[in-house]
Amino acid sequence: MTNIEILIPKLRSMKKEIKVHLAISERDRYEPLYAFVNNKFKVWQENQTKKNFEKQFILSLIYYRQNEWLFAGIYKSISVKQINEKHYEYDTKLLDIKTELIGRLIINFPKTFRASYIHYYKYYQEFEVSELLKNRITIEPFPGYENVIVDYDYLKSIYDNEDKSWNTALNSVFGIYLIVDKKNGKNYVGSAYGKNSIWSRWNNYIKNGHGGNKKLVKLIQSKGMSYCQNYQFSILEIFSKVMSKDEIIKRESYWKKKLLSREFGYNDN
């Protein structure tokens, strides 16, 4: 593989003044990628819990896949102010350095340690180019019904961008879906039928966080919309749009029983 400095030679002269940000979140490793897709990465990166960018420049790499990182640009750290004990707000500027590679360049770097802020000069020889995407990354194409496992923030990105592949697939079927609260492990089994495809049903959760479900309504009233970031969506079964409401409700009941979502989850009937 090719070392990153072959494509970005400017890095050679900046070695000692670069802090690498391996952007990954403990809550959801894909959170910075969601922010990038929504053109909010700069703001996401500027909000830190510590003074993590004490160097003049920031090389931003976003978690993409295991051992692979997406190039998100080179920033200049202008200033930082402390908001409170655990909140520092940076002012940064995206530099005009190989901006055509942002969102396209994939870097191979096995992260074998916990730290997400490292000195470039110590690790630059390990940053190898593994792929150069033809186009800047946006929303991943619909992966197939059986492969849908998506967090709330990413699902919101799909709706905000009105992604055609997801819209077409989820609008084409009725089905049984699962929402998992990643914070406590509780399940909610829901169904889409009648006038509601899975696309339109899930759109309700994006808008209000509860979709009209009693226990989720109470949850959002208590915790606020920000709690939705703990939701994970997946599809248990899909049906043709000729399937009757009664048949789908029977299957919904089967999944509630199988997953014990009435006893230990958010289903109340």
pLDDT at position 58 is: 96
Return the pLDDT at 215. 95
CA dihedral of residues 185, 186, 191, 196 (deg, nearest 10) = -80
Average pLDDT over residues 258-268: 96
pTM (2 decimals)?
A: 0.63
CATH of the domain spanning 145-264, picked from 3.40.50.880, 3.40.1440.10, 3.90.1150.10, 3.30.2310.20: 3.40.1440.10
Residue 7 has pLDDT above 90, yes or no: no
Mean pLDDT, residues 37-43 taken together? 89
SS3 string of the chain?
Answer: CEEHHHHCHHHHHHHHHEEEEEECCCCCCCHHHHHHHCCCHHHHHHEECCCCCCCCEEEEEEEEECCEEEEEEEEEEEEEEEEECCEEEEEEEECCCCHHHCCCEEEECCCCCCCCEEEHHHHHHHCEEEEECCCCCCCCCCCCHHHCEEEHHHHHHHHHCCCHHHHHHHHCCEEEEEEEECCCCCEEEEEECCCCCHHHHHHHHHHHCCCCCHHHHHHHHHHCHHHHHHEEEEEEEEECCCCCHHHHHHHHHHHHHHHCHHHHCCCCC
Predicted confidence (pLDDT) per residue in 200-257, tens digit: 999 999 999 999 999 999 999 999 998 998 999 999 999 999 999 999 999 999 999 9
Task: Over range 55-69, report the average pLDDT.
Answer: 92
Looking at residue 33, what is its pLDDT?
Answer: 87
Q: Which residue matches tokens 């909010």?
A: 40
Exposed / middle / buried, residue 121 (Cβ in 10 Å: 0-12, 13-18, 19+):
middle
Terminal C-alpha separation, the chain: 56
- pLDDT, tens digit, for every residue of 107-165? 999 998 889 999 999 999 999 999 898 888 877 778 889 989 998 988 987 888 788 88
pLDDT tens for 74-102 read 999 999 999 998 899 999 999 999 999 99
* Residue 237 backbone phi and psi in degrees, to 5: -150, 150
- Give me the chain's average pLDDT, please: 92
What pLDDT score does 138 carry? 78
The answer to whether residue 2 scores a pLDDT higher than 90 is no
265 confidence band (pLDDT: 50, 70, 90): very high
Taking the domains of the chain in order of start, what are their residue ranges? 2-132, 145-264
**Residue 1's pLDDT is what?**
59
Report whether pLDDT(266) > 90.
yes
- 181 pLDDT band, cuts 50/70/90, is very high
Q: In terms of pLDDT, which residue wins out, 245 or 34? A: 245
**What percent of the chain clears pLDDT 70, i.e. is strictly above it?**
100
